[in-house]
Structure 1
Amino acid sequence: MRVPILAAATLAALSLSACDKSGPKTGAPMANGARSVAMLRTADGADVGRATATEVGGGLRVTVDVTGMPAGTHGVHVHTVGKCDAPDFASAGGHWNPTSTKHGSMNPQGPHTGDLPNLIVGANGRGTIGMVLPGATMAGLLDTDGSAFVVHANPDDLMTDPSGNSGGRVACGVFATS
């Protein structure tokens, strides 16, 4: 009895070791490790954190770390233009949407490439979120007019065009190579 079990275990181990491990897995850092950072500031210029985009297998991993922000739930998005002119950050343009979809992960015709889940900021002013934007590339993020990362005043309803009713723009940062 022990010989067949041992033989089966050995065969299984050999089969696993023969698997192709050469390609990148979704979410695994790419060999070149391309990375871009957007330093987030409020309209009055206060530094409130950063958004980091890292090229990974299957897309871009975006992580956001904020501090000194108003407590609550905030819509967060990648926007199409690398400009953050105060006071309203309208210069950042609309959401990054190269595939011309509708807004939000709850929308059957969405989401935009630049749509992220809501950022929850605690009573201490700190919040963190991270996700992979499937199919996104660093070349697309850093195109000729760049991109910006925007934190909105209100929660994103994750479905209503164009921005999920997430309200005014309260912090913004331009993605730059690092």
Structure 2
Amino acid sequence: MDTIFDNGENTMRTMTTGMVIGLAALALAGCQRDGAAKVEMGEQVPGGRTAVALLRTAAGADVGRATATEVGGGVRFTIDGKAMPPGTHGAHVHMVGRCDAPDFTTAGAHWNPAGTQHGTMNPQGPHNGDLPNLIVGTDGRGTLGVTVPGATIDGVLDADGSAMVVHANPDDLKTDPSGNSGGRIVCGVFRQS
């Protein structure tokens, strides 16, 4: 409401306008805070961290990369494979950031902070490190992308790190501890990028 005093002073008008502008600024600031806090499940977190693992065979050949990205509600893992053996392969995040050839057993077991059993089809699973199978075409290329709810980039980059491992065989998604996915044929250590 604008009121003008007869003596020509605009004090009341200035106060009213100032209050309206101040309230609008507060409302806008509240919207901006709410917008930043409401990142949808799977959407990249503004300013979120990313870790990359360069994937190698036991002979040291470059066969792609894996990425872990902070997203709303978890971590999104992607694999971009090249020059890999065609077929279906188990793919898992392992709990130690070491990839010593020839068998990559130094990467430890699957990343499993909750102490569950293996597999998305196991009623007592899955591990955080249990990803869907990676399907590699006859051209040696394969891609995978999945969000693991509740996972954190801090967990991926903890004191001993973590590694992405691709196995020789398909993961049956239920048999503890690794889905009968066979030997470890590709490994890469996650490093913050």
* TM-score, scaled relative to structure 1: 0.88
2:95 is equivalent to residue 80 of structure 1: yes
Q: Aligned runs of 1:34-45 on 2, under 5 Å? A: 34-45=49-60
**Structure 2 portions without partners, runs of 5+:** 1-30
- Give the secondary-structure state (helix, strand or coil) at the position aligned to 2:158: coil
Q: Map Cα deviations across residues 107-153 of structure 1 (whole Å, 9 max, x no partner).
A: 01111001000000000000001000110001111000000000000
Q: What residue in structure 1 maps to residue 184 of structure 2?
A: 169
User: How far apart, in 2, do the equivalents of 1:74 and 1:62 lie?
Assistant: 16
**Residue type at the aligned position of 1:127:** G
Q: What residue in structure 2 maps to residue 129 of structure 1?
A: 144
User: How far apart, in 2, do the equivalents of 1:47 and 1:175 lie?
Assistant: 15
- Bigger CA radius of gyration: 2
Q: What residue in structure 1 maps to residue 68 of structure 2?
A: 53
The match for 2:126 among 111, 130, 144 is 111
Q: Map Cα deviations across residues 43-65 of structure 1 (whole Å, 9 max, x no partner).
A: 00000000000000100000101
Q: What residue in structure 1 maps to residue 114 of structure 2?
A: 99
The match for 1:31 among 25, 42, 46 is 46
Larger helix proportion, structure 1 or 2?
Answer: 2
The match for 1:67 among 71, 82, 95 is 82
Q: What residue in structure 2 maps to residue 4 of structure 1?
A: none
Deviation at 1:32, TM superposition (A): 1.9
User: How far apart, in 2, do the equivalents of 1:99 and 1:72 lie?
Assistant: 31
Q: What residue in structure 2 maps to residue 154 of structure 1?
A: 169
* Sequence identity percentage: 68
User: How far apart, in 1, do the equivalents of 2:121 and 2:78 lie?
Assistant: 21
User: How far apart, in 2, do the equivalents of 1:47 and 1:140 lie?
Assistant: 26
After the TM superposition, list the runs of 4 or more consecutive aligned residues in structure 1 that deviate by more than 2 angstroms. none
**Structure 1 portions without partners, runs of 5+:** 1-17
Q: What residue in structure 2 maps to residue 14 of structure 1?
A: none
**Residue type at the aligned position of 2:84:** M
Deviation at 1:31, TM superposition (A): 1.8
User: How far apart, in 1, do the equivalents of 2:95 and 2:123 lie?
Assistant: 22
**Residue type at the aligned position of 1:135:** G
- Answer with 27-36 or 147-156: which moved more: 27-36
Count of aligned pairs: 160
